[in-house]
Structure 1
Amino acid sequence: MVQEFSESQRIVYYDTEITGCVGIGKLVDMMMLISEDHSASVGVTNEKVQSYGLGWVVTQHIVDITRLPKANEIVKITTKAENYNPFFCYRNFWVYDENGKELAKMHSVFVLMDQTKRKITRMQPELIEPFEAEYTKKIERLPLPKGPTVPDKKQEYKVRFMDIDANQHVNNVHYFDWMLDSLGADFLKTHTLKHMNIQYKQEIYYGQTAISEAQVDGVNTYHKIRVDDNPNCVAECLWTNN
């Protein structure tokens, strides 16, 4: 039987944005931390994965938001490794308030990356079986995000040393920040994010210049992060007017 894993966290002021709510990138970071703690609890630590010359890499998140938690709220984050096939692992996340009401949920796709060849490799039994996820031969056909066709917003970001994580490339949370920041303060103050589909395509490294392009179409926005002409990340978002 697939096991759930939960932890509670307090939203502190430095997790929040000018709206007083936690930022979507920070919330996803919190969920990723819970997945790491879950992995460690079943003996699949980062050190064990690295001993195989491998690393977990996220290729896609689909996030649905009822309400973003505010500063000083206690939230419970629950995760479950649902199922896997030879090359992909699918994990779900839920964020609840203190009364057990669902605030957000996320469906994520993970792969194992060969750290030397930088190529996806097959799931290793020793690294996936402890989660008791269901094995399937099927590959999920998730909707792929549409990037901007005619970008009307553009912003450049020089990749700093502080943007790089232990995997030696830009931490995923910065993609969220770059994408949404390009929309500008006026848009972000008057709209609330309800749905985001984000797909990672290629890593970004220290010293490169990331170009964030966005297109606004009413309450829908379309995003692309690229270095030169190579797309690194694509996302589409649905918002509501405040």
Structure 2
Amino acid sequence: MASVFEMPYQVPFFQADNKHQMTLPSMLSLALQVSSLHSKSLGRSDQFVFETYGLVWVVTAYDVTIHRFPVYDEAITIKTVAYAYNKYLCYRTIELLDEKGEVLVFMEATFALINFETRKISPVPEALIAPYQSEAIKRMKRGERLPTLEGATAYPLVIDYFDLDLNNHVTNHKYVDFFYRHLDMAFLERHSPKRLLLYYHKELRAKDKAEHLVKQEGLTTFHEIRSSKGLHTQAKIEWREDELQGLFD
């Protein structure tokens, strides 16, 4: 049976928005944190992986379903399981649970290992993955295919110093910040995401001259981050009308 890791968490002020809801970027950041803590508890910390294999973990995809956002000061439990892997990819679920054990947020994350020097994807070493007791599978899990955007609005993207992580590329949750940046404030005030599908194709660095393409179809927004190097990121966000409204006045 695959290893399960849980930890309690209380939503702090700085991770809540003006509706008192935990922000989507904060939830993605928390997902990475709990994944890292799980690995560390099994003797497979990020430092161990780098020093032993010269590899670093990267996220290649998120599929996030939000039943209800955790709110400011709410006590929740984060539960994660690295349940399966194949030659090149590892699959992990992350759940945010309320005090009754009800699932508030369900995330499925896909991870890969890359060589820090060459930036190429590496096969998953069996000795590295063994403590997780994950199921070995041969197939590659296929996510929903997102269309190439046509007729989208393009915005120049400014990458700031604090957008970068230890690997010197834009950190995962910052892409959602970019997506929100070019959506109408009145729309955001009255709507909250119910599902996020996010694919990472290429690393984005500070020197890349990138643009954010966005297209809205009803309560669904489609996003791409592109540069002269090609497609970096694709996303689809499905929104629901929100009874809560932000404090913009």
Question: What's the TM-score bracket when you normalise by the shorter of the two chains?
Answer: over 0.9
Q: How does 1:1-150 map to 2 (within 5 A)?
A: 1-51=1-51, 52-150=53-151
Q: How far apart in 2 are the matches of 1:47 and 1:229?
A: 30
Contact 1:59–1:110 (CA under 8 A) maintained in structure 2 = yes
Q: Give the letter for the 1:44 counterpart.
A: R
> SS in structure 1 opposite 2:34?
helix
8 A contact 1:209–1:227 mirrored in 2:
yes
TM value normalised by structure 2: 0.93
Q: 1-side partners of 2:187 and 2:59: how far apart?
A: 28
Match of residue 213 from structure 1: 213
For the pair 1:239 / 2:232, whether they are aligned, the reply is no
The C-alpha deviation readout for 1:106-159, integer Å capped at 9, x for no partner, is 11111110111111110011211110001111111221333532214x433321
SS at match of 2:175: helix
Secondary structure of the residue aligned to 2:151 is coil
Give % identity: 28
Q: CA deviation at 1:79?
A: 0.4
CA distance in 2, matches of 1:46, 1:202: 21
Distance 1:187 1:197 in 2: 19
How many positions carry a matched residue from both structures? 241
The SS at the match of 1:199 is strand
Whether the aligned pair in 2 keeps the contact of 1:145 and 1:197 (CA below 8 Å) is: no
> Quick one: distance in 2 between partners of 1:47 and 1:205?
22
1:146–1:237: structure 2 CA closer, same or farther, 3 Å change rule? farther
- The DSSP-based 3-state class of the residue aligned with 1:36 is helix
Distance 2:155 2:13 in 1: 27
Q: State the AA in 2 paired with 1:198.
A: L
Unaligned runs of 5+ in 1: none
CA distance in 2, matches of 1:182, 1:229: 22
Measure the CA separation in 2 of the matches of 1:210 and 1:190. Answer: 29
The CA RMSD over aligned residues, in Å, is 1.3
Q: 2:28–2:172: 8 Å Cα contact kept in structure 1? A: no
Tell me, what secondary structure is at the counterpart of 1:116? coil
